[in-house]
Structures are given as structure tokens and as C-alpha cells.
Chain A
């Protein structure tokens, strides 16, 4: 059985028909965000005044997040200000002074941005740069209006990373107690403060922040830190991943992309897909693209102004061109005329010379005349006269535009009379002339042969065409099969050419290696192998015309235009397809090479340019970013870390592992799963809770009654919880969690108290 039908196994991407009003809606274009500079922030000293009445009761609450530091007073309802933990400190050369800008102020201009340093180690929530940290704390106390001598004079409540390193805590203690003279310091975990603020008792706290995601089980308000886990994925990693993806997607993007922009793209456009596999498969479908899956972001650009020439100007230019052409022609005509005159004078002179020669009295005199002009004999002189005469005739004809009375080749053949005369009837000159005529005659004969050859070729092509036509009429199936085969061969050739072109830059590519081999072969002059039986070695190079093709393969530049151009495979393909369209009923417009490569069918086009038609060539379109699959691909990493190459289990597997393996009591397991609590800025993605709920239900036994809830404000609840804890606790409760100044100096800088909202005591190492 032969296969005579080709079914498509690749799903067809075809654009739905153009709507009735004739135009596609143009997608909304978002401008690229600027750096988050907020301008001058006034201080708010009112809190400090208020706290002055009860200095030991009013604490400064600092939620030191890796993304933003939230600062306020324990009696405030919400933090007074949020600043990113950044410091730009440098010496201004112009004014010869030091500068220090903190938080959003560090984004003021290009100089300050260039000097930005972060207090936290990148992609972790651990502060490592203490000079920066001090600068940030300076700024916060200034803005809080702290006005005391050599001491802040207030308790400080601060958050720290889960399982904080002892060294880090020691450094923070040193700074807070010794540089700022805090009266006491309390450390707590941001996620636990947030959970407390949201009135959680027993549950699983999932806290996904800027640098990491933590899962902490809490039972009866007691955090089970020995069972907590950290996934090294948070907002900062997501931003970096998005930046990486966009750089790969638009490798030649002219605009400048930076992390702060990625943050806003993630906040604005990203969301968690509730069914990632299904959503992803259809994300770039036409329906999806039209539903707004593709987000266009416009970066600043300057449009190149193409000066439109007026018709008048074009006409003037044309005129100028013609004018100069005319001038050239005139000059050439003048030159020709001058030459003609010169030739005529020469002819006159030669004729007079000939006359002189004829009239010369003696042979000696005749000889002298010829020798003076360096003629060998009279015949040479006569020939010179004849040639000149013919030349003059010819150029005159040309000037006057008379068609030269060209003789046909056959006529020319009859103009060699001497050839029929036997040699013995001729004198020496005659023989010479005869030889000359024979040469001329063979030239003419060669031309006749070439002409005949051309004629035959033409006839052959016509015959071929006729046969082809006959074949088409009599055996249409065979004819179509032949044409299809031809088309396939051309497609392969086009592909081959494209590959060769792409491969030419690759030094290790097959094409380059082949070329080097050929070069080496050509360069070695010794014969490759001796012919058996001796004799001169001749490699027959050049006997076959195709031999000369090696020079084409060796040349890196495309063949220069004086050679015949390579037959254009695409043009041939077009011809074949035209015929197929005409005679093959199964070959439709949709099957043509062009239609197959149409942009509406291209997945890459949808990926790179969304629903915008055609290749973009304006500056405006070059400066556009298209976000589509990235919108769900980047947030998905927290569920499938392998997408970004993070070698850790996904969030659902972590939760499953903690609940099922670390707790063997069913009531505890149930208590944990009944309240899965989401907090932290990275959980703000739309559908995060829904997706987690869905996945947990599908993975874990049904009887647990799984419930996922989000914090009322995933970003600020940690601070609010800390403030609420301080203001709502009795002094004994506070004392149990707080290291006072005396305790610090007594027990050392690593001393910390375990409490229900903080870390457990860990040994000296990390």
C-alpha cells in the first residue's frame, strides 16, 4: 500500500477571520516604568513626641524585609514609612564632599543609582552589609525624628530571618545596642507576627517574601521551627529569572531593562495559573492572544525621521541626472568627431604618401618613403589605407545612426576567394594573404556553429516543454507526482541553503570543515597518488566544468555579480507551485511555501510579537517588549522549582513532607492543614491561594478539610503584628522575649531569648 494522503500531525495555527469592521483591535501598550524615585520625604517627628511620655512603653518597630524596611511606632496602626534597604554613599567630585542617600532617595539620578548597595546578601534575607544597614537605620531614626543624645532611648522590636545566623544577630545586636543605645531589643519572625495579627492559632504559615519562601508549622501558637523548611525562591529570584528570560527572548533589545522594572511587571501582569499545564499549552493560541495574553511594553525610543521627497524634488533630481547624461553624450560625440577628423587627416596623408610612392622616380626613393613611415611594402601601406577607410566609414555610419550594412555570416563565408586558389599559383604575398583568410574563415565557421547550437538548444527546450505538456494531459498523476517531487527537492534545497548560511559563521560547523578540507587539498601541490603504469600525473582538473565549482565553495564571499547568479531556488519553487496550483486539485493556496511560512501560522511570531502583524521594522516596535508566557511561567516556579533550575521540591511537596512526615498525629496534621496561611509579598499573585488549595486537595487525603487563606495584607501584616504584640502585651510577657541593655552587656552579644514569635536558639554555626 502506498501512502497517497498526507495528514497534518502538527496542529494548525490559523488566525480567525478578520472581523467585520475590517481591523484588529490594537493591543494596549504600557509604558516602561521609571526608577521608583519618590522625591524628598519629610520626616514625621510626631510619633517621637508622642512616645516621649512613655519612653519604655513605646517601641520602634522595624520589619526589616529584604525588599522594604517597614518602620513605625508600636502605637501606630500602620508603618510610618517603607524604604528599600539601599544606600548610595560616595564622594561628589564636583563639590568635593561626601553624600549618602538611603532608600528611594538613592534612585535620584544616574550617579546615585550607580553607587547603590544593598544591606542584604542578594537572594537571601540575611543582612551582610553593616555599613549600609547603619546608614538605613540612621535614616529611619532621622525620619522618625529621634532627638536624643548618644542613644535612641527606646525599645526596638525587629524582625529577623528564619533561623538567623548567630553572627548576623551578633552584628545587629552590636549595632542596635552600642551604636544606637537601644534600651532593649526584641527579635521576632515576620511571618509569625503576621500570623498572630491574623488571629491564627494552629496552622501552616507559608511566607513567601523577597528572598525566600518559608513554611512554618504552628501548633497552639507555638512555632515548630524544627519542622520548618525554606525554599530558595522569592520575589528577587523571580525578578532575576524574568530578566534572564526577557534577555534571551529579545537578545538585541535596544532598551535598558533592570530589576526594578521586572518587579513592576511581576506585580502588574503576572499571576498564578490555576491549571498551569492547560493554560500554558494554549497561551499563545490566537484566542488567547486576542483575549489579551500578550502585554506590550513600550520603551523610550527616537523615531528615525525619513524625509519624504516631494514630487517636484524628484523631478528636479531626474532632470539633473538627464542633464549630466546629455552632457556626457555631447562630450563623447565631440571626442568622436575629433578622432574622426584626425583619422581623416591621417587617411589623407597616407593617400598622398601612396601617391608620392607611385610617383617616385626611383626604387630607392620609393623604399625611403616606405621606410620613413615604417611600412614593409606597398601592400602594407595599401592595407593600412583600406583599414583606416573602413574605420572612418564605420564611425560615420554610427554617428549618423545608419544601420551598418551587416553581412550575414554565410555571406561572409564567400569572401575568401584566395582559399580556392592552389598555392603554386600564388606568390609569396598571396600565400600570406591566403593564410590570413583561412584564419578568418575558421572564425566565421565557429560562429556559425555556435549559432546552430543555440538554435538546437532552443528547439530542445521547446520539445521538452511540449513533452511535459503532453505528459500532463495524458498522465496527470505522474506529472503531478513529478512536480511534487521537484517541489520537495526545492524545499530541501532552500532549507539546505538556509542551514549553510547559518552554519557559515560556525567555525566548527560541517560547512567550515568541508571548506578547510578543500583548501588543504588545493594547497598541497604534490600528486595524491601515482598512476599505475607511470607516466605524467594529470589529475584532469578542469576537464569537467564542474571542477571549477571548488572555487565557489572555497570563497567565503558570495560569488561576484560577473558570474552567472546561482539559480534562485525560491523563484523556481514559486514557478512549480504556480503550476501545481493550476493543475493539482489537492494543492491549495494554503499549501504553498509562502502560506506555510506566513506569520499568522508562526508560533515564534506569537511568542515574540504577540498578535501584532508582520515583522516590526519601526523604531517604535523595536523598543517594545512582549510579555506573554512569562506572565505565568515565572510565578509558577514556586510550585515547580525545576523550571528555573532550583534543585528543591516545590511548595506543595514541601508542605506534604512537613505535614505527613514530621507530624505523626492525625489531629495535628488536620490542625495544620485546616489553616494554611499565606503571607509575604510574593504570595500577592492572583490565584495563589486558589492554586495552592487545589493542589493540596489533589495531593493529600481528603479528610483533612484543607483550607487556604491569605493574610489581610501580606506585606504590612508582619509589621502590624509586631506593633500589636508590643502594645498588647504585659510587661512580663515582653520581658520574656526581650533582651534588655543590661542583659546584653552581661550575657554577650549572642544572647537571645526564645519565645513564641521568634527563632529558637541555635548553635554558633549557621
Chain B
């Protein structure tokens, strides 16, 4: 039979696969009672938006943290009342929210003052801001070389006359792909 060597090779590969396969390997260290929730896989967008919705609904209620509740013992006319931590501790997450709001409001007045801790660090707010400077240098979309010109028709940047010829002979849809690589394409929603 001519096909005999093939199954043998297949066999060797299958044995390798069987050796590597961990599905049926005994995993004694796993807790037998562990039953994960079926819908625990969420992407970041979902997680963030769900958390923000929850936060919004908490803030909208009367259920504040109670930090601004006057302390009965210390209310003898001091100008700046200390936050009432005893009350606030009842609802810690709301307290954090309130603090963040306060900080954000302060920050908008004086962004350069770095005194004290800023708003709590979150995954979304540590993302760095867009550049304050206009992009100084432009680069050719086709070759990446410094580009002095922009084609008014396709909006592609190009290095010289020869590249311009290439830009103008791109197939339909081509310029858009180049723009997409630079994030400058028009996306219709």
C-alpha cells in the first residue's frame, strides 16, 4: 500500500497531541465545588459602561455617604467641619465617588496644582491625552518617507512626483486603506 507511511506519521503527531492535551489530565488541585458564572466573560467596554451606569444610579439617589453629616459632638461653630467618617463608613463606595467628583471639580479650576492625591486612579483616566502640539512632521502614506505634499483628491500624503503617480493609480478603495493605517479614514456609521 502506498499510503502506509502517512498514518504512521499521523500516529506520531497524534501521540504528541495526546501527550500535550491537558483536558483529561487529572487536576486534583482544582476545587470540586467551583462553578463559575456562565456570563463572566465581559470585554472592557462592557465592564466600564456597566460600572458607570451603576455609579450614576448611586449618585442620583438620596443615599449619599453621609460624610457631610455634621458630627453631633464637634458642631460647636468650627468653620470647616471635618468629614464625618463614622457616617461615611456606612457606604464606602459612595464616599469614593463623591471624593472623585470633588477632585474633578477642583482640578478643572487649577489643573497644574498637584497638591494632594488627585482623583482615584482608574483604567480609563490614566490614558494619556492627545498631543498639545500640532504634528510637526508628516510622512508619506505609501513609503513612510518625509512628505511635503498632500493629494487633494485622496487626502494621501506623498513624498514626490513618482509616489504621486502611484497614489493616483491606486485601485478604488486603495486610498482608504492607506488612510485607515493612519487612522485618518472617514468611517460612516
| A interface residues, Cβ below 8 angstroms from B | 10, 39-40, 89, 97-102, 105, 108-109, 112, 121, 124, 126, 128-131, 134-135, 138-139, 141-142, 146-153, 161-168, 171, 174-175, 178-181, 214-215, 225-232, 241, 244-245, 248, 277, 280-281, 283-284, 498-499, 502, 505-506, 602-604, 607, 629-630, 633, 640-650, 653-654, 657, 661-664, 759-766
Contact = CB atoms under 8 A, between A and B. Distances in A.
Interface residues of B, number: 81
B114 A227 contact: yes
A766 B124 contact: yes
B30 A121 contact: no
B30 A661 contact: no
19 contacts: A10-B160, A98-B23, A112-B17, A124-B44, A130-B40, A138-B22, A141-B29, A149-B28, A161-B123, A165-B123, A175-B36, A230-B126, A248-B177, A603-B163, A604-B143, A629-B145, A640-B135, A653-B132, A661-B111
B143 A629 contact: yes
B42 to A, nearest CB: 7
Interface string B27-67: 11111111010001111100110111011000000000000
A591 B117 CA distance: 70
A142 B118 contact: no
Given A649-B131, A763-B96, A766-B51, A604 B21 contact: no
A602 B143 CA distance: 12
Nearest to A649: B131
Given A165-B48, A765-B48, 17 more contacts: A109-B13, A109-B17, A148-B29, A149-B28, A163-B122, A165-B123, A181-B29, A502-B168, A604-B162, A604-B166, A642-B131, A644-B181, A645-B183, A645-B184, A647-B183, A661-B114, A759-B121
A506 B180 CA distance: 21
A124 to B, nearest CB: 6
B130 to A, nearest CB: 5
B27 A142 contact: yes
Contacts of B13: 108-109
Question: A-B pairs with the 7 shortest C-beta distances?
Answer: A645-B183, A765-B51, A766-B48, A649-B131, A100-B23, A179-B34, A229-B128
B93 A763 contact: yes
Given A229-B126, A648-B129, A171 B23 contact: no
A62 B183 CA distance: 36
B47 to A, nearest CB: 5
Nearest to B124: A766
A460 B96 CA distance: 100
A505 B172 CA distance: 9
Contact of A762 (B43, B121, B161): B121
B178 interface: yes
Contacts of B100: 763
Nearest to A161: B123
A97 B48 CA distance: 38
B30 A128 contact: no
A108 B15 CA distance: 12
Contacts of A153: 29
B121 A225 contact: yes
Contact of B97 (A150, A643, A662, A763): A763
A168 B163 CA distance: 48
Contacts of A762: 120-123
Contacts of B43: 121, 128
B44 A126 contact: yes
A281 B140 CA distance: 11
A644 B161 CA distance: 24
B128 A649 contact: yes
A129 B145 CA distance: 40
B114 A663 contact: yes
A241 B114 contact: no
A277 B138 CA distance: 10
Contact of A100 (B22, B178, B183): B22
B126 A764 contact: no
Contacts of A765: 48, 51-52, 54-55, 122
Contacts of A131: 36, 41
Contact of B143 (A151, A171, A180, A603): A603
Contacts of B117: 226
Contacts of A644: 181-183
B19 interface: yes
Most chain B beta-carbon neighbours within 10 Å: one of A642, A654, A765: A765
B26 to A, nearest CB: 9
Contacts of A165: 44, 47-48, 51, 123
B21 A280 contact: no
Contacts of A98: 23-24
Interface string B1-33: 000000000000100110111111101111111
B77 interface: no
A152 B29 contact: yes
A146 B26 CA distance: 11
A128 B182 CA distance: 28
Given A128-B42, A148-B28, A151-B31, A277 B163 contact: no
B179 to A, nearest CB: 9
